[in-house]
Chain A
Amino acid sequence: MLLSTPTSPHAHTPLDTSGLMRLVILATLPGVAALTWFFGWGTIVNIAFASLIALACEAFALYLRGRRVMFYLRDCSALVTAILLGIALPPGSPWWIIAVGIVFAILIAKQLYGGMGYNPFNPAMAGYVVLLISFPLEMTRWLSPLGTFEGSVPGLMEALQLCFGGGFDAHTMATTLDVFKQGAGLMVADVWQQNPQFGRWGGLGWEWVNIGFLAGGCYLLHRGVFTWHAPMSMLIALTAMAAVFYDGGSSASGGSPLMHLLSGATMLGAFFIITDPVSSAVSTRGRLIYGALAGVLVYVIRRWGNYPDAVAFAVLIVNFAAPFIDHYTMPRTYGHNRGGSD
């Protein structure tokens, strides 16, 4: 057996904040590509417009506070927020929806708390929840994915028209989770057959979007951007909840575990949102609890709540619980007794 013993200097490539954020942006690419393939250029337009406004807001807030504008802008954290929100919004959202969401996310959910590193809630999800509660109609209008109708999904010009002009005809249809919520009383096979937007496992297009984000997440995991604890425990908790309540037949039972894993924002939430290093729990045990709580809440709100997808709400609620979880899962410092007393 060969034991390699390298001598010093042990050179590392330390990841600074902007490097980390660029990795995260890189890892969203497969998911964004899938979204663009199935739903047209809307997502790209969302992301571009959101990034523009996010950078402007961030610069404005930093200027007001007298901080070094370029230094903080270069850490790309505002860009990540913009990209996550752009992905979460329905493709082809009107420009003012994007603007309201991103202004809330950057100015209120992030900069009011002191900016990068202090925000207790995930800014992108806070912006999303504000939009979902304020404009439910616009926020649930998803275009129909490629392959459900004749013709194609919106191209770049049409997507721009949808965003800024509004005068463009496009097909919209309910998402898989939405159909499942409304379609109680049918057998799963019936729902599958009647609705062309159901794909093989989790909704046409959606399954590939989720697989895309899963691939990106695995890449980040491989690069050590976050640990496996929170995403794994969230996915396991969601699978377990779905498995317990799924009776294999009627759609009233809430869909199979596979459907829950591969539709909606599950993978985006598990790998890109709850792994946010600022707003999540920090201890190892804390991350396990934090992720499991998120998974359970996603299922509970999807299944019994009013809103078809629940990742944003679940994330805000677990963000809210994170300091408390941390307080009780603080690892014992070496040399001290349990319970913090010495």
Chain B
Amino acid sequence: MLTDYSVLLISAILVNNFVLVQFLGLCPFMGVSNKLETAMGMSMATTFVLTLASACSHLTYNYLLQPLGLDYLRTISFILVIAVVVQFTEMVVRKSSPLLHRVLGVYLPLITTNCAVLGVALLNLNKEHNFLQSLVYGFGAALGFSLVLVLFAAMRERLAVADVPEPFHGAAIGMVTAGLMSLAFMGFAGIV
């Protein structure tokens, strides 16, 4: 039981890393990784929202869509659920903790467009995860995303001062680096 969940967690963090192995959530990965501080904020916000959203979309599917026979609406309703969760989180954080809001504030609305969030919701469905499994899978996906984002941001700060040839400045060398990191993560294949 406990092993199953830890296997699921490790698989989502390392072996099937959402960014480097499944290529989901690349927009924030490239967009918010210029500075370590912002990457930290983004990864905390994403972890919170992704975990919550995967639980909520699981509930929505099993207790709303399926009883009503509305399976075909799942993509659009998941998008709605995610947008609502993000908005709700933003409101709660703003009222309850101004400090946290200052740290996360800018990033929260951005998460709505993170395809990893929708991806986790749909993958949970495909893999027929139960509620707890969905939660763990969502959390693992978020941890994997955060790990890679933060490491990548630290590396890009170093790349910013490297003597990179003119045509490869900025996003281009970032993409090359992401590719190399993806190669490195293939080493985890087969661990679970």
A interface residues (Cβ-Cβ under 8 A, vs B): 65, 108-109, 111-115, 118, 120-121, 126, 129-130, 133, 297, 300-301, 304-307, 310, 312-314, 316-317, 319-321, 323-324, 326-327
Contacts and interface: CB of A to CB of B under 8 A. Distances in A.
B150 A113 contact: no
B187 A310 contact: yes
Contacts of B154: 323-324, 326-327
Contacts of B158: 120, 323
A307 B187 contact: yes
B88 interface: no
B71 interface: no
A65 to B, nearest CB: 6
Given A115-B163, A120-B155, A323-B155, A129 B187 contact: yes
Interface residues of B, number: 28
A114 B164 contact: yes
A112 B173 contact: yes
A316 B183 contact: yes
Contacts of B151: 320-321, 323-324
The B interface is mostly helix, strand or loop, or mixed, namely helix
A326 B189 CA distance: 27
A121 B36 CA distance: 19
B187 A301 contact: yes
A287 to B, nearest CB: 16
A109 B177 CA distance: 9
A121 B190 contact: no
Contact of B163 (A118, A316, A319, A324): A118
A234 B140 CA distance: 27
Contacts of B186: 129, 133, 313
Nearest to A324: B154
Contacts of B159: 113, 120
B180 A121 contact: yes
Contacts of A130: 183
Given A114-B163, A114-B164, A327-B154, 7 more contacts: A120-B177, A129-B184, A133-B183, A300-B191, A306-B190, A307-B189, A312-B187
Nearest to A325: B154
Contacts of A313: 184, 186-188
In this complex, the member of A108, A114, A129, A307 whose beta carbon has the largest number of chain B beta carbons within 10 angstroms is A114
B190 A112 contact: no
B167 to A, nearest CB: 10
Contacts of B73: none
Contacts of A121: 180, 184
Contacts of A112: 164-165, 168, 173, 176
Contacts of A305: 187-191
B157 A316 contact: no
B162 A304 contact: no
B187 A304 contact: no
A124 to B, nearest CB: 13
A142 B66 CA distance: 55
Contacts of B132: none
B157 A323 contact: yes
10 contacts: A109-B180, A111-B165, A113-B162, A126-B183, A129-B184, A305-B188, A310-B187, A313-B187, A320-B151, A327-B154
Nearest to B192: A304
